[in-house]
Amino acid sequence: MTSANYDFRFVGVEEVGPYHCFVLEVTPKRKDKYLFEGKIWIDSQDFAVAKIEGHPAKKPSFWINRADFVRNYQKVDEFWLPLRDETQVEVKIYGKRVLTIEHGPYVLPAELRRAAEPAN
């Protein structure tokens, strides 16, 4: 997500689970099925993405009337990793379908945990 592809507008602050977040409205600069329109929640401490919610800027295919998604992230040690993805798709003929992916539990190798620790 860069300013080359999106316009960002601050719309407030919210809690996402244990994370205090800045909320930004995201508007794509062009209609493209690989870009999205929606909101992002940025953790106020780490400035990491804690949540993304939206829909593709352009219909991904003839068969899909609408697709909405929500992706939540979690902080594991010092790393931000996917927690949960939910996508609701309205498909021609078949109707509404929901796909949910629960990520984790994560077990980070000791060398990653040591690399993330602050140097003394």
pLDDT for res 75 = 94
Q: What is the mean pLDDT of residues 92-111?
A: 89
- Can you tell me the distance from the alpha carbon of 60 to that of 32, in angstroms, rounded to the nearest whole number? 9
Decide if pLDDT at 120 tops 60. no
- Decide if 52 is inside a domain: yes
Please give the single-letter amino acid code of residue 104: G
Q: Is residue 69 part of a domain?
A: yes
- What is the distance, to the nearest Å, from the Cα of residue 5 to the centroid of all Cα atoms in its chain? 16
Residue 1 located in a structural domain: no
Name the domain count of the chain: 1
Q: 61 in a domain, yes or no?
A: yes
Q: What is the pLDDT of residue 116?
A: 63
Q: Print the domain residue range for 69.
A: 6-116
Q: pLDDT tens digits, residue range 49-100?
A: 999 999 999 988 888 888 999 999 999 988 999 999 999 999 988 899 999 9
42 domain-assigned: yes
Asked whether residue 101 is domain-assigned, the answer is yes
As a whole number, the mean pLDDT across the chain is 91
Instruction: Check: CB of residue 32 under 8 Å from CB of residue 55.
Output: no
Nearest Cα to 36, choosing from 63, 71, 75, 11? 71
The pLDDT, as a whole number, for residue 46 is 95
50 domain-assigned: yes
83 domain residue, yes or no: yes
The C-alpha atoms of residue 46 and residue 119 are separated, in whole angstroms, by 18
- pTM confidence score: 0.85
| pLDDT classification of 118: cutoffs 50, 70, 90 | low
